Structures are given as C-alpha cells and as structure tokens.
Amino acid sequence: MSDNNFTHPKMDVERVNEIKKASFWVSQLFILVATVLGVYLAASQGYKQAVQFENMTSYKENYYLQKSLQYELQDNISLLKDLMTRLQDPNNYGARSESLNFYSLVWENMKFSKTTLGTPPEFLRIAQQFYRNIATTQQKIAKGDISTAYGIKQFQEQIDIVEQQLIPALEKSTDQIKKELDGSDVIL
C-alpha cells in the first residue's frame, strides 16, 4: 500500500475546522438576519397598534365632545325660547333686562380640550357666532337699542341656523364617528 491513498490526519482536521467555522458564521448570519427582521416586524406591528389605539381614542373623545355640544346647544335654545316667550308677554316688564344664563360647561371646557381641534371648524364657527350674536342682541334689547320684536326676530334667526344647520351636522358627524367605531372594540 502506498501512502498516497491515505490523507494526512492533520489536513482532515483543518478541513473539518474550516467547514465548522464557515457553518458557524453562516448560522450566525441567519440568526442575526432573523433577529433584525423579527424586531422590525414586531416594532412595525406595535406602532400600527399604537396609532390605531390613538385614533380610536380620539374618535371616542370627539364623539362625546360633539354630542355634549349638541345637547348643550339644544338646552340653551330651550332657555332662549323661554326668554322669547317672556319678552312677548306685555305684563312681564323685567324680561327685557333679564340676563340669559346659558349652560356653558361644554363650551367653556372646549377651550382646554385637545379634542376641540378635532371638531370640524364650521361647527365651532356656527356655535361661536350663535353665542356671540345672542349675547349682543340681548344687550341691545336690555339697553333699548332695538325693539323687543326685532330682538326676538334676531333670536329666531340664530335659533334657525343652529337647529337647521348645526344640530343636523353634529348628528351626522357623531353618527359617522359611531359607525367608524362600531367595527372596533371601543364602546360608546
């Protein structure tokens, strides 16, 4: 037998070691890629869930804010209609100078709510004009700058704007928000 048929044992060990080194680095590379990919996918999914949660929370807060504004406006319109009735009564002389104490909890607190800016601006504009125009008209009636009949006509115009434009728009908006939340786990 010749020595050529047999390989040198030291060379076999070196080849095996080289193969082990290469397979070690390849497996480490796969582990690294899998780890990076797993972290990326987990972070991406976590971010999506956080954004979705924030959106749903914002929708819910906006729903309650708009509904509360709607109810407050409806209550204030009732107060205004009561005042209009008293102003038309010829025996009620003090009605001209009566102060109209509107409910303003929601309207005043909207100044401090981050949700207010999620409310459509046209809603806020109409509500703001309503409160401002009613206060101005009431002051003019109390001072005698305008007649009671003209003041009542001004009041009715403001009521009509809110009842025919703002209240239906608020109802439509809150219905839309409610539909958006119906498919989620958020409970109104």
Task: Give the C-alpha separation, 63 to 51, whole Å.
Answer: 18
Q: How many CB atoms are closer than 10 A to CB 65?
A: 19
Q: Which domain range does residue 90 map to?
A: 60-182
Q: What are phi and psi of 144, to 5 degrees?
A: 85, 15
Read off the tokens for 151.
């003041």
Query: Which segment of 7-21, 116-130, 165-179 scores lowest on mean pLDDT?
Result: 7-21
Higher pLDDT, 17 or 35: 35
Q: Is residue 138 part of a domain?
A: yes
Task: Give the C-alpha separation, 84 to 79, whole Å.
Answer: 9
Percent of all residues in the chain with a pLDDT value above 70, rounded to a whole number: 90
Read off the tokens for 171.
């109802």
Q: Is residue 41 part of a domain?
A: no
Q: Is residue 47 part of a domain?
A: no
